[in-house]
A and B are shown apart, each in its own frame.
Chain A
Amino acid sequence: MHQLHRNTGSSLRAGAGRLLVVTLAAIQLLFIAFPLAALVLHTPLGTLWTNLQTPTATSALTLSLETTTVALLLTIAFGTPTAYLLARGTFPGRRLLDSVVDLPIVVPPAVAGVALLLAFGRQGLLGPTLNNLGIHLAFSTPAVVMAQLFVSCPFYIRSARAGFIAVDRALEDASATLGYGGWGTFRRITVPLALPSLVSGAVLTWARALGEFGATIMFAGNLMGVTQTMPLAVYLSLESGDLDGAVALSVVLVLVSLIVSLAVRLIDA
């Protein structure tokens, strides 16, 4: 009798525990989904389409597409060798470099913007040099690309590095004995085998660049058609009382984010 009582008690407690876990998880998930749903459901689809035709929206869309594409290409060009070096290299300070590469993820974007200003801005360390060369970065489209590059490149480098590490070195050695040099082996063996990691890293980097706000507004400013990317246009629209314009661009960004997160999951699976 006593035994039975204890069993009932413990199964009751287990049931209550499960209920608590499910409730907490449900609240957490709702907290994420509810605002996004509110955003997407705010405007009818037809109106949304019209709101995307305004000069502010179209120029922001175009600029975002252009700058993020350039930022992604630059990340791949410079980040791939960096990732390979971090994956395969044996040199002192490699672990330190690993964490340096991760820094832009941790540093607040606004701080990154200030840092970029102090490095490349008019009053920055390289300011006079760039000025003499006739290059004025601050408040220009290249500055937007630099801000995006700075904050988003770690996502690609991290993912690519993990992908390269996972490639069995014996395969690269085999390729070398069969006659290919470093580049031939990299192209034929290493890249194809690390491709899923490279692609998912590139997708994440692009998405981060697309959403970049803090560093851009600090370093590049907010000029329509020059430095006003989508997140900046959302901010400006809201500030100037154009809620519909802000919502339209936001919905686009949410949908892109959703596609990206699904795509990455699919690639990594």
Chain B
Amino acid sequence: MLHLAASKRLREMTLAVDLAFAASVTTVVGPSGAGKTTLLRLAAGLVRPDAGTIRLGERTLDDTARRVHMPPGERNISLVFQEYALFPHLSVAQNVAYGLAARHIRRAERQRRVSAMLERLDIAELAMERPARLSGGQRQRVALARALVLEPSALLLDEPLAALDVQTRTSVRAELREVLTNLAIPTVLVTHDYADALVFRERIVILVGGKVAQDGSHADLLAHPHTRFVADFTGVNFFEGLLDTHEPDRLARVALPGSVEIFVPAEGLVAGPIGLGLRPWDITLSTMPPSSSARNVLRGRVREVLPLGGRVRVMLAVGPECALSLVAEITPDAQASLDCREGQELYAAFKATALSVGPTERGDTLGRSDAEVEPAGSRD
């Protein structure tokens, strides 16, 4: 258990949290400037809290009242830095061995552990390479190897996917899921992209302006968002699929789970795995097949209807097998005219251009500003 009950004054706001992380993966999501990186730096010991305590299991890492501050190197907490911070003048193997050397582990033992770790992350053939020669995905694995080879008591990851290009992201997300779920140590992954949080849905902490806006599973956040920000942030649909063929009209077809096919603007995309975001308020619902120009029309069944203040969130299961979850948001008026209720069959329509591809485009646009929120109409 990693427990932070601490505050730290930053330039624009004060980070003040009381968070306990159990031996599983927790995702901390928030817009930039929310204090996410500072949270990790506090836990790693790179910055000292202004007040409070930080504990890892039985050990006290920080206690401002007793003037305790354990230096970063003694905490046995590994931090995977944003952009990975690999040492450019050292080979992959030397990077991974770095922390072991600091711990005065004998050479033979060091080499054994390094090669076992490189093997485990499938980068053994890169051992002699310099980081500059690696791809984004490979760098991420080296950073993970360097962190995990120390057998840390807790693992922190700062935006581990932000440095990757759109299409690498989808495959690396899956790899990361595989590596992290088997760790059984407190693991905190920080991201500004809710799509990354969906990789580990069990516990998501939403951090806004240095405070925890909400803390729960993805299902909790989706069904009972405490604030409008959380509602906007978490409501975004995220699909992982396979882009296969390019169609006429500059569109490309993406095959999603549950035999669902959707179309996206093809520009700049190549065939392969792809992640797509869709805002719930960009989806139009209707009882009859819509006559609008929307390129994507999916038939589905209403699973749940959740009134959220000025709008209504409708959870659907769409596609031929009714296997793909979709969250749509409509006005109460639209809900009344549709007579929307559980079990009802509906058509969900959205334009190809409503789908956003990848992190750069979506990262900043996902969390809509409040000004944009009103009125959440059933627009077309």
- Expressed in whole angstroms, the Cα–Cα distance for A176 and B150 within the complex equals 14
A187-244, CB < 8 A from B: 188-189, 192-193
Interface positions, chain A 43-83, Cβ under 8 Å from B, are: none
Q: When chains A and B are docked, how far (Å) is the Cα of A31 from the Cα of B127?
A: 54
A174 CB–B CB distance under 8 Å: yes
Verify B85–A173 contact, CB threshold 8 A: yes
Given contacts A170-B85, A171-B85, contact A178 B102 (CB under 8 A): yes
Considering the complex, give the chain A residue whose CB is closest to the CB of B143.
A174
Residues 77-94 of A, flagged 1 when their CB comes within 8 A of B and 0 if not, give 000000000000000000
User: Which stretch in B73-81, B201-209, B252-260 binds the other chain?
Assistant: B73-81
Smallest CB–CB gap between B359 and chain A, Å?
A: 20
- Interface check B273, CB cutoff 8 A: no
Q: Are the CB atoms of A178 and B81 closer together than 8 Å?
A: no
- Is A184 part of the binding interface, using a Cβ–Cβ cutoff of 8 Å? yes
Say yes or no: A170-B102 contact (C-beta < 8 A), given A176-B73, A177-B73, A178-B150.
no
Give the total of B residues in contact with A, Cβ under 8 Å: 25
Q: Which residues of B lie under 8 Å from residue A179 when comparing CB positions?
A: 73-74, 99, 102-103, 150
* Tally of A-B Cβ pairs under 8 angstroms: 57
In chain A, what residue has the closest Cβ to B47?
A: A173
CA distance A179 to B100 in the complex (A): 8
Residues of A within 8 A of B377 (CB): none
Asked if A177 contacts B88 (CB within 8 A), the reply is no
| A55, B71: Cα distance in complex, Å | 60
Contact B81–A174 (Cβ < 8 Å)? yes
Closest CB-CB distance, B10 to chain A, in whole Å? 15
Q: State which size class the interface on A falls in.
A: 10 to 19
Cβ contact within 8 Å between B87 and A177: no
Is A9 positioned at the interface, with any CB of B under 8 Å from its CB?
no
Whole-angstrom distance between the Cβ of B11 and the nearest chain A Cβ: 13
Interface residues in B56-98 (C-beta closer than 8 Å to A): 71-75, 77-79, 81-83, 85, 87-89, 98
Q: Given that A179-B102, A184-B102 are contacting pairs, would A174 and B73 also be in contact in the complex, using a CB cutoff of 8 Å?
A: no
Closest to B88 in A: A193
Shortest distance between the CB of A192 and any CB in chain B (Å): 5
Q: How far is the CB of B176 from chain A (nearest CB, A)?
A: 19
Question: Which of A170, A173, A181, A193 touches B89 (beta carbons < 8 Å)?
Answer: A193
Q: Is the CB of B89 within 8 A of A177?
A: no
B73 touches A168 (CB 8 A): no
Closest to A172 in B: B85
> Which residues of chain B have C-beta atoms less than 8 A from A180's C-beta?
73, 102
Binding site for B on A (CB under 8 A): 168, 170-171, 173-181, 184, 188-189, 192-193
23 example contacts (A-B, Cβ-Cβ < 8 A) are as follows A168-B85, A170-B85, A173-B41, A173-B46, A173-B81, A174-B79, A174-B81, A175-B87, A175-B98, A176-B72, A177-B46, A177-B72, A177-B73, A179-B73, A179-B99, A179-B102, A179-B103, A179-B150, A181-B71, A188-B98, A189-B87, A192-B89, A193-B88
